[in-house]
A and B are shown apart, each in its own frame.
Chain A
Amino acid sequence: MTPTAHPDAVIEVHRLVKRFGTKMVLRQLEFSVSRGQFVALLGPNGAGKTTLLRILATLSRPTLGEVRVAGFHLPQQAPSVRRMLGVVSHLPLLYGDLSAEDNLRFYARLYDLPSINERVTAVLELVGLASRRRDQVRTYSRGMQQRLAIGRAVLHDPVILLLDEPHTGLDQDASQMLDETLRQVVSGGCTVVMASHDLSRALDLANRFDIIGRGQIIASVTRDHIPNGDLLGYYREVTHA
């Protein structure tokens, strides 16, 4: 199958349903993201944020519905999509007993990157860990591990970045450093979808806010159209409706 021609939407989801046994987590969900947008997915626990991200990341199959990422259909064209995705979750997806350099080199081999050493060095500098490149990852602080996780996610220069609660377990300073790293990474025009509970962090980073509840997108607003500029008030109003 060839990619479908759709010039602007990088992610398109129509009538998406996901069931785990008898439990329906996503119900006829509609969602789309344009190229270069930074979308924050907000919602209470169990709303379906992580499930949606895992489907977009090709880690989970939709039960019903249509999902297209970068023009490729999921799950049929998942291998083509994987090359275009970078994923950061609250887990680092890194081997604690390997050094930062070895972790990145391993993933670079899996992505079949050319000039591995140069790329690994560039990414370590990007996330500010070049001086600790030979240290085992388990000796890193949680904040450093998350920065390295971002480095792993952008190693192959993805066009879409999926972030699932990347600030979980980070203190204020570490969160700020993570945000700075993220801003640097997305300044290149990457499309980002970030699931988060942290509204202030989402407001700092994103330019569109989608609120998910009961397995559907129940509200969507761009930064310029938040009523009274109060995202928290808007979120409360929508989720309690």
Chain B
Amino acid sequence: MRENTRFWRSMLAITWKDLALEWRSREILTAMLVFALLVIFIFNYALELTPQTRSEVTAGVLWVTFAFAGTLGLNRSLSVEKDRGCLDGLLLAPVDRSAIYLGKTLANLIFMLVVAAIVLPIYSLLYNTNLFLPGLALVILLGAIGYVAVGTLLSSMAVQARTRDMLLPVLLFPIAIPILLAAVKASSGFLQALPFEEISPWLNLLVVYDVIFISVSFMVFEFVVEE
């Protein structure tokens, strides 16, 4: 019981530390937001959309934006640990390695959801599309969980390399394809108001991938961060 409490307290301490660091520096959210807004502005001018095609491409544009902005955040989140040796500081502490992984993942998830919460209203205004749909919010939550679950693991691998900025997308995107594909299809379904029966297989796929990615990452994180 006491070990369990310690696990969750350590995990929350790591998440809280990441949020406090971001509150002071505003490095991660600023980079993610600037990038995400630039992408949706560029798409807005590059694609001349009719009201009919708008709902078809919105899901793709949104998830491209989240995926690339998320990669920036994941890279920075682990670079902060590596630059001043803080990753060693975490690994030296008598806490379960999985608590470190979950603490970092939760912080990265919060950053990604904050970016989504800011991007969605701006996108709605620019593209004149209603994105305030509970179903879409659910897809964004599920997609973000899977993306940061595997992204946090891979960024902790990539951060050991000199070419970490390039390495993370190269490692992450092929593995995250099932998550991104399911998220785009489910988002598109909700935006086009398709019957729930047509959307639910994609939602199920998202849930399954979330469980798989979190479980595998939870188990292998210890071996990834140790020499």
Contacts and interface: CB of A to CB of B under 8 A. Distances in A.
Interface in B52-83: 80
Nearest to A99: B24
A112 B6 contact: yes
Given A109-B9, A109-B10, A91 B94 contact: no
Contacts of A219: none
Interface in A219-237: none
Interface residues of B, number: 26
B227 A95 contact: no
Contacts of A239: none
A16 to B, nearest CB: 14
Contacts of B13: 106, 109-110
Interface residues of A, number: 30
B21 A92 contact: no
Given A107-B93, A110-B90, A110-B93, A97 B85 contact: no
A contacts with B: majority SS: loop
Contact of A61 (B17, B25, B89, B227): B227
B115 to A, nearest CB: 20
Contacts of A96: 84
B11 to A, nearest CB: 10
A98 B17 contact: yes
Given A82-B93, A95-B21, A95-B86, A60 B227 contact: yes
A80 B21 CA distance: 29
B197 interface: no
Interface string A84-127: 01010101111111100010001101111000000000000000
Given A98-B24, A112-B6, A61 B226 contact: yes
A58 B85 CA distance: 15
A61 B227 CA distance: 7
Given A59-B226, A95-B80, A110 B95 contact: yes
Contacts of A97: 21, 24-25
B20 interface: yes
Contacts of B96: 79
B88 interface: yes
A27 interface: no
15 contacts: A58-B92, A59-B226, A59-B227, A60-B226, A82-B93, A91-B85, A91-B88, A93-B85, A93-B88, A93-B89, A96-B84, A97-B21, A110-B10, A110-B93, A112-B9
Given A87-B88, A96-B84, 16 more contacts: A58-B92, A60-B227, A61-B227, A82-B92, A83-B94, A91-B85, A92-B84, A93-B84, A93-B88, A93-B92, A94-B86, A97-B21, A98-B17, A102-B20, A106-B13, A110-B93
